[in-house]
Amino acid sequence: MTKEQLKREDVPEDLTWNIKDIFKSDQEFEDAIKRVEGYIAQIEPYSDKVTDGASNLLKVTDLAALAGEELDKIYGYAARSNDSDTANARGNQLLNSALLIYNRFSATMAFYDPAVAALGKEKLNDFLEDEPELQKYHFNLERIQSQSAHTLEFNEEKLLAQLEPAIDDAADISTKLDDTDLNFGMIKNEEGEEVQLTNATASIFATSSDPDMRMRAAKQLDAAYYSVRNTFAATLRGHVHAQNIVSGIRHFDSARQMNLSENNIPESVYDTLVSVTHEHLDLLHDYYAFRKKVLGLDKMYQHDRHVPLVSDAKLDFTFDEGKKIASESLAPLGKDYLGYLSEEFSNRWIDAAENKGKRSGGYEDDVYGVHPYILLNWSDVYDSTSTLVHESGHALQSVYTDKAQPYWYSHYPIFTAEIASTLNEGLLNNYMLKKYEKQPKIQAFILTQDIDNFIGTIYRQTLFAEFEHFIYTEDAKGITLTPDLLAEKFNGLFEEYNGPAVEKTPWPDDTWARIPHFYYNYYVYQYATSKAIATSLGADILEQKPGAVERYKEFLSAGASDYPVNIIKKAGIDVTNREYLDKAFRVFEKEVKQLKQSMEQPG
């Protein structure tokens, strides 16, 4: 019997998202584009006089906010259409139209930041007094002025905006190659059935108790990436090089400085993450040595790291069961939180089923004024339930933010976004451990999941961050990012992080090519910092410390109304101090000890 992926049209409607909540038809989508064109036409005459007076600045800023909210809907509708089936011509065309109008708007607004930056603090304060309505934009205006040293002249900003599609091409090509053109082929599962190998099914095979199944799936997946390694290297090289060029044009010392400065994140936060993680690699080495011993493996490879240590305690949940577990595990966050979660589950905010051509992985994307959307590729493994809880953390942060903030403060940065998602994961695992507290085998399974989640979120993402900084600094030196150089560095870091218990993969390994986040510009380190922050905040909530839930709801509602470091400090965490990282590693060490004890108990 052969099992192939569903076609999009065969997916049950209740497992798909409802994009008609954004626009009821493609015609409404086109009408929205025309409205943005109208806003652009009103903005253009102010390109050389936006700061001639407070009323001009207010008018242009108001028009930009209206256009931006409309563009959120345009992109949301197009991206949801495209991502549900990336091979579908209609979705491709909608996304292309959305990107064209977005880039046209960006080019039109190229005069805005240079003008506000040149206005100066004293003049801005005069404007705020002359036109009190401008106060609603105060933080954004000050943020623009803080970047004045890196803001270009109007014509230069306009040129960069026009070049943005070309700058982003490498990332788009890589996504198309990975999600649409790359074919992993068919593979025999443990029952001897021919099934389609995908990234989603490969994650299932990685948990198989059969070493041969794990090895065959990993080898076949790696072979597919190796077959196009030169293309992936070319796209990554092109993206990195473009970012380095842009950082130089904007008078930054590096691409990292450029990407962290927007949210006023000290580069020391990045370096401290890497250095503190290296100090705690011994904990990871010890855990993998323990894993190898329990599994009774003569040699343990990368693809053996996710197999459950207790094979007969594997937890499988359907999508409906996963939603029920999510609701029960997130109960400590209060009735209002659960009410919003029920809306998410009941009103088709989620696209759950995997289908042919669908974008891989999972994500959440908010459409201000409508609701968030979640993409999943559901399989009945525990990891899918964890992903649902993770993405729901993003979705509910969007709900709280959208209710508390105007559009222009609704796009909270990734640095705070990943706190909400990883805190939810912690609550899920706490709930599951209590639910199965009298079943040591299941507890061991859950602890393994939680420990592996910690490894994937802190150790692995820090490894990615270290690799990402390497490729940017190498390119800045003029060194070509060849496939061999990328593989050598990436695999070398894997060996350093994993320790002696994990053997080198016995075939060519280009795992670096499988990480789309390297196109997100110094994004991955925030997973690790967020997990550590969430560990502390989650502990306060579970311990029912006075005001913990209320402070967390204030955090969820803050959006982009202040810099991330300040918002997090109000919630009780100072990210400029290493203590939050040390605390997270102490929790990891404790869980490993707890796992070892669970494995020793009978039953």
Tell me which of 70, 391, 418, 425 is the catalytic residue: 391
SS3 category, 436: coil
Q: How many CB atoms lie within 10 A of CB 507?
A: 12
Q: Which two tokens stand for residue 527?
A: 């997973």
Q: Which two tokens stand for residue 589?
A: 């060490």
Q: Which long-range contacts (CB under 8 A, 24 or more apart) does 190-195 make?
A: 193/1, 193/2, 193/3, 194/1, 194/2, 194/3, 195/2, 195/3, 195/4
The Cα–Cα gap between 81 and 229 comes to 29
Q: Is the dihedral of CA 368, 370, 375, 378 positive or negative?
A: positive
As a whole number of angstroms, the longest Cα–Cα distance in the chain is: 78
Where do the structural domains in the chain lie, given as residue ranges? 8-151, 271-347+381-603
Residue type, position 261, single letter? S
Q: What is the pLDDT of residue 1?
A: 29
Residue type, position 494, single letter? F
Specify the pTM: 0.81
The Cα–Cα gap between 150 and 252 comes to 7
Q: Is the dihedral of CA 163, 164, 165, 166 positive or negative?
A: positive
Task: Name the helix (H) or strand (E) containing 371.
Answer: strand 371-375
Q: What is the pLDDT of residue 603?
A: 52
List Cβ neighbours of 566 (8 Å cut-off, separation of 6 or more).
none
Q: What is the DSSP string of 374-424?
A: EE----SBHHHHHHHHHHHHHHHHHHHHHHHS-GGG----HHHHHHHHHHH
The Cα–Cα gap between 69 and 49 comes to 24
| Residue 465: φ, ψ to 5° | -65, -40
Q: What is the pLDDT of residue 445?
A: 85
- Told to judge if 391 belongs to the known catalytic residues of this protein, a careful annotator would answer yes
User: What's the CATH class of domain 8-151?
Assistant: mainly alpha
Burial group, residue 341, by CB count within 10 angstroms (0-12, 13-18, 19+): buried
The Cα–Cα gap between 405 and 591 comes to 38
The Cα–Cα gap between 23 and 232 comes to 35
366 forms beta bridges with: 372
Q: What is the pLDDT of residue 3?
A: 56
Please state the CATH superfamily assignment of the domain spanning residues 271-347+381-603 in this structure. Answer: Oligoendopeptidase f, C-terminal domain (1.10.1370.20)
Q: How many CB atoms lie within 10 A of CB 528?
A: 28
The Cα–Cα gap between 382 and 431 comes to 13
Q: How far apart, in Å, do the first and last CA atoms of the chain sit?
A: 37
Q: What is the pLDDT of residue 280?
A: 97
586-599 b/e (C-beta count within 10 Å ≥ 16 → b):
ebbeebbebbeebb
The Cα–Cα gap between 339 and 399 comes to 11
Which residues of the chain carry a pLDDT beneath 70?
A: 1-4, 312-313, 602-603
Q: Which two tokens stand for residue 459?
A: 């150790």
The Cα–Cα gap between 481 and 465 comes to 16
The Cα–Cα gap between 70 and 27 comes to 15
Compute, in degrees rounded to 10, the torsion defined by CA atoms 76, 77, 80, 86. -120
pLDDT by residue (tens digit) across 223-237? 999 999 999 999 999
